[in-house]
Structures are given as C-alpha cells and as structure tokens.
Chains A and B, each alone.
Chain A
Amino acid sequence: MSKPSPAHWIGLAVFLAAVFVAIPMLIAASGRTDFYFTLTSVALLAIASAGVWLMFYIGRIHIGQGAFALIGAYVSAILVTKAEMSFWLTLPLAGLFAAFVAVLIGIPILRLRGVYFAMISLVLTQVVTLTALALPITNGAKGITSIPLPGAISAFGITLVPDFADIENTRLAFYLTSCFLMVLTFAAMHRLVNSRLGHICRSMQQNEALAASIGVNIAHIRIIVFSISSFFGGIGGAMFGSIAQSVYPSTFVVADSVNFMLNCFLGGLGYVFGPMLGTLVLYFGWDLLFEFGRYQLLIYSGLLILAMLVLPNGLLSIRPDMFRRSSK
C-alpha cells in the first residue's frame, strides 16, 4: 500500500458514483424504496464493524461493539429529547462519549489478550443492556421513543442540510447521510492504516512484547485504538437511533455484537474495506434469504460455514492466482 495509483482513484470514483448516484437512481427506477432502509442499515453497521476491524488490527477480538453502539444511541437520544440539542451536534458527542467510556473500560480490560479479551468484550453488551434497564435516565425497558428527526444545519444564513421533518423522501436523506458517514469512516480508516500509527498497530498484531521492546508504548496505543473503535460504534449507533426514532435496551444485543465481528471475518481481516463488504453480504444475504421462510437460518448458517471452509481468510482474499497455488 504505497502511493495510490490512478487505478485506486478510478476505483474510488466508481464507488462514490455507484453509492451516491447509481443506487438512488436504480431504486427510484425500480420502485423498491424498501432497499433504502436495508442499505442505510448496511452503511451504519459497516461503520460499527470498521471499529471492530480496527481492534482486530491490533490483534484483539472485539465482540462488544454493540455496547458502544447502544451507548451512542442512548447519548444522542437523551441529548435530543431531554436537552433539546440539534441531532447533528449530538452525533459527534455520542461518538466522543462512547470513546470516553472505552477509555475507562479499556484501561483494565485491554490488559487481557486473546480469548480472554474476546470473552470479556462479549459480556460488555450485556452490561450496557442491563445498565440501560436499571438507570432512570434511559427509561428502563420502555426505552426512549418518538425522538424528533434531525433538524437543519445552516451556516451564514445558507441552509447546508435541510430539516429532515420537511423533506419528502426522508429515506433517501438518511441513506445519503449514512453513506456519507460511511465514506468518511473508511477514508479515515484507510488513512489510519497507512499512517505511522497503522504500522505500529501491525507490529502489535504480530507480537506485543516485541513491539514493546522496541519502544512502542503499547498500553497507550491500544487505548487510543479502542477509543477510535468505540467512537465509530457510537456514531453508528446514534445514527441508527435517529432513523428508528427510538432506542430500547434491546436495540443492540449480544447477537449484534457477534454480527459486527462476523462482518469483519467474512470480509477479510487483512483488508481495510473488508468490514464494508462483509456487512453488505451478510446483511443483504440475510434479507434475500427471507423468501425461504423457516429455512432462512439454516441456509444462512450453512452458507456462512461453507464460506469459512472455502475462504478461511475472507471474501477479499479471492485472487486470480489463488487457484493456481491451491492446485499445486
């Protein structure tokens, strides 16, 4: 991953054109507006999955992203309904609060490695769900409902983003917003992975003790990476809550946290854009299999296992020369 070649830029342009122009046109032409919701979800879940991927990048299996998504969703919902703040202001605040919680939790639990970290992170989602049920401000099991839609953003008298309540096609608006956030997230990820910090992360993935021995402050780095990861989780969760206009303790559960991890695995842990592809395939695949009714879960899990057997290193590991090597 040295300097981006022209091919990279063309690929990026094609991707952006597809996401922001071609897909809305196709949906408008086919009239399947329900796809907007599906694709919006994919974009937001991909943001949260990106955070999980980042944790994999420093060699940690993070199965607790649902916790941070739930924190983000609640922070945004509480600020919008109780403090009547603009949603756009609460979005970064939700991310920052999730990151802050990550620092607090991370200081003790990031000392754990391997499956120990995986198991404790699996418990995190439960902790946040139970906390949301117990605290008065989160309104217990009833959750926070009828959250107003995001308002307008204007600077110097020019309206940059119109009030969502006035837009006819809110689905399209949410789709575009979510995709914009997703593009930003993955641009940040790409930048991060190719930065000095990214190199340090790779060295930690291979051997933490060795990284520490050459002067990397590993405790410091893993807190930073964990808080960035949780920031993404918080943003994704907050946006999700705003679209659903409600947040419940069951908005993100352990199964969601497991899915975030599966998205990364399926896309491929060695590729920055793996979580995006993984989320798209898993979420869309699940939706498409809906037609099989009661066999949906059977086929879905069967395909998942098959994918693991055939492509244990993720979908993006498909290369033309792979088949040559395997036939040897």
Chain B
Amino acid sequence: MEQILANGVYLGAQYAMIALGLTLIFALMNVLNFAHGQMYVLGGFVTYTFYGQLGWPFVPALLMSCLTLAVAGALIERFLFAPVIRRSAREESTMLLAAGLAFLLDAIILLVFGEKQRGVPKIVNGVLNWDFRVIMPYDRILICGLAILSIVTFILFMQYSKTGRALRALAQDRTAAELMGVDVARYSMIGFAIGAMLAGLVGGLLVTITGVNLGMGGPTSIKAFMMVMIGGAGVISGAIAGGIILGFLEAIGLAVLSQYGDITYLVIFVSLMIFLAIRPRGLMGKPWG
C-alpha cells in the first residue's frame, strides 16, 4: 500500500509538470498543443546530449534543455502560431499547425538524434528501502523532489511576479488585459516559451530515469490531454490536480488490475468518459473555457 502511494506521488509530480505546460499554452492562446509530447522528447534529448555525451554536470545540462525549448517555443509562437491565429477564419486552424509542428519536431529529432532509445548514467546511486514497505531508488526521489520544487517555483512565479500577473490577466480576458496595458503579443510569446520550457524541463528530468526515444512524444501528449481533461482546461490548479490524479490512478491500476491483463488504461479511459459525462468541464475548469 505504501509502495503504491509512493509510486503515485512520483508519477503524479512528473505528470503534473507536463500538464502545466500544456494548460498554460491553452489558457493563453486557446491552442491545443499537439506537439507538447515532442517538446518533452526534445528536452530529454538535449539533456542527454549535454549530460550524457558532453559530460556536463546535470543541472547545467537541465538548464540547457529549458533554454533550448524556451527559445524554440518563442520562435514557434512568433513565426507560426501568431500569424495563423491572426489570419485564419476559424480558430481550430491552429490545430492543423500544431499537428504539423508535431510531425516537424519528430522529423528534426529523427534526423539529429536518431531513432534509438537513449539513456544517461544515474545521477545518484542507491535505493531507499524502508522495511520492504517502500522501495524506491534515490534518483527517483531526487527527480520527484526537483519536480515538486519546479511546480512550486512556477506557482510562485505566476502568483507574485509581474510577468506572472500579466499572463494570468491574459488567460482571464485577452481584451481586458490589452486595455489595461498588457503587451498581448509579447506576453503570448513569453507564455508559449514558458509552456515549452516546462515540457523540456520534464523531459530533461526524466531522461535520467526512463531514458528517451522518438516514439515517446505521441503517448505523452495523449496523457497530458487526459490530465488537462480531468482537471479542467486552462486552469493551473486543475492541471496539477489532473496530473496527480492520473499518477495515482496509474499506480493503483498497475498494482490492482495487473492480474486481469493490460487493462489499466482501458479502465482509466472509460472512467474518464463517465466522469466527463457527469462533469464536462473537469474538476476546476471554467465553463467552456
């Protein structure tokens, strides 16, 4: 039982970070970022290159992941999403762009990093063994701690910094924010960059445990969508709640349902549909955000 809870916390923390980036981008620009999983994979590969290949210490390598993705996110927003949003007749057109972007990032990752599964050396060795009730490697605990630290930092940033306030205003009401003197174009770009950066950060953190490969992008995006649906799209607390809930569901499901075969995710999907039938906007979502 303790083991299941520990696994749940560990999975939940990393999932919450993935969902945060997705929900931030959605809240600011109403863009469903299909490429989020690919951004996560790209972040993993950058950390792999600097930490695993070039022998940098882990933290600077992680910062390189953040930096790369933030720059990429800013460029993508400025030169791809902003023009399309401005010119297209229907808002949904950005989805084609996002899907195209997912393909593009896949192609770039394939060309630059190849299709092999890549791993890096462990950052810390050893396993915590608490009386055989909870067994967890130290590096997982460390990554989990770092993830929680990043989430707390992100919340404080959104809550108290000037940029964070501007971003929240933008998410609430674009027009009103503009009238209050928020530079909408600039903060959209910053918001997208931060969303992409979060994806890169998780990718960099998790490469030390699960490794990284090209095929991880799509499934990661789908999981991120599920978390956002559980918690409610465009709400930061919802993304965190959704991530933690999905993490626990997965940990419990894998422990309890494994005797019936590989049906954990089938059960999760079906319960998600029933849940959404009762509460269509998720736990904390705005009505039809």
Contacts and interface: CB of A to CB of B under 8 A. Distances in A.
Given A120-B273, A297-B106, A297-B110, A113 B101 contact: no
Main secondary structure of the interface of B (DSSP, over half): helix
Interface in A307-328: 308-309, 312-313
A130 B107 contact: no
A304 B99 CA distance: 9
B93 A308 contact: yes
B92 to A, nearest CB: 5
The winner among B96, B262, B277 for most chain A CB atoms within 10 A is: B96
A299 to B, nearest CB: 8
Contacts of A297: 103, 106-107, 110
Contact of A265 (B95, B233, B274): B95
Contacts of B265: 126, 130
A312 B270 CA distance: 35
Given A112-B280, A127-B269, A130-B263, A313 B99 contact: no
A109 B273 contact: yes
Interface string B223-263: 00110110001000000000000000000000000000111
B225 A123 contact: yes
B272 A309 contact: no
Contacts of A109: 273, 276-277
A62 B273 CA distance: 15
Interface string A109-134: 10111111011101100110011011
Contact of B93 (A107, A112, A265): A265
B152 interface: no
A122 B103 contact: no
A313 B88 contact: yes
Contacts of B100: 262, 301, 304-305, 308
A298 interface: yes
B273 A115 contact: no
A94 interface: no
Contacts of B176: none
B30 to A, nearest CB: 8
A297 B109 CA distance: 11
Contacts of A123: 222, 225-226, 269, 272-273
A308 B222 contact: no
A46 interface: no
B111 A294 contact: yes
B95 to A, nearest CB: 7
Given A112-B276, A112-B280, A269-B90, A119 B270 contact: no
Contacts of B282: 116
A297 B225 CA distance: 24
Contacts of A300: 103, 107
A116 B233 contact: yes
A22 interface: no
B51 interface: no
Contacts of A312: 84, 87-89, 93
B32 A119 contact: yes
A38 B234 CA distance: 41
A122 B107 CA distance: 22
A156 interface: no
A301 B89 CA distance: 22
A254 interface: yes
Nearest to B234: A115
B218 to A, nearest CB: 6
Interface in A258-273: 258, 261-262, 265-266, 269-270
A18 interface: no
Contacts of B10: none
A305 B104 contact: yes
Contacts of A262: 96, 99-100
A134 B269 CA distance: 14
Given A115-B32, A133-B262, A309-B83, A108 B274 contact: yes
Interface string A81-118: 00000000000000000000000010111011111101
Interface string A239-280: 000000000000000110010011001100110000000000
A298 B280 contact: no
Interface in B122-170: none
Interface string A135-167: 000000000000000000000000000000000
A285 interface: no
Contacts of A254: 218, 222
A251 B26 CA distance: 31
Contacts of B269: 123, 126-127, 130
Interface of A: 56, 61, 105, 107-109, 111-116, 118-120, 122-123, 126-127, 130-131, 133-134, 254-255, 258, 261-262, 265-266, 269-270, 294-295, 297-298, 300-302, 304-305, 308-309, 312-313
Closest 6 CB pairs of A and B: A108-B277, A312-B88, A301-B103, A297-B107, A304-B100, A301-B104
Given A115-B32, A313-B89, 11 more contacts: A108-B276, A112-B276, A115-B30, A119-B229, A122-B222, A265-B92, A297-B106, A305-B80, A305-B100, A308-B93, A308-B96
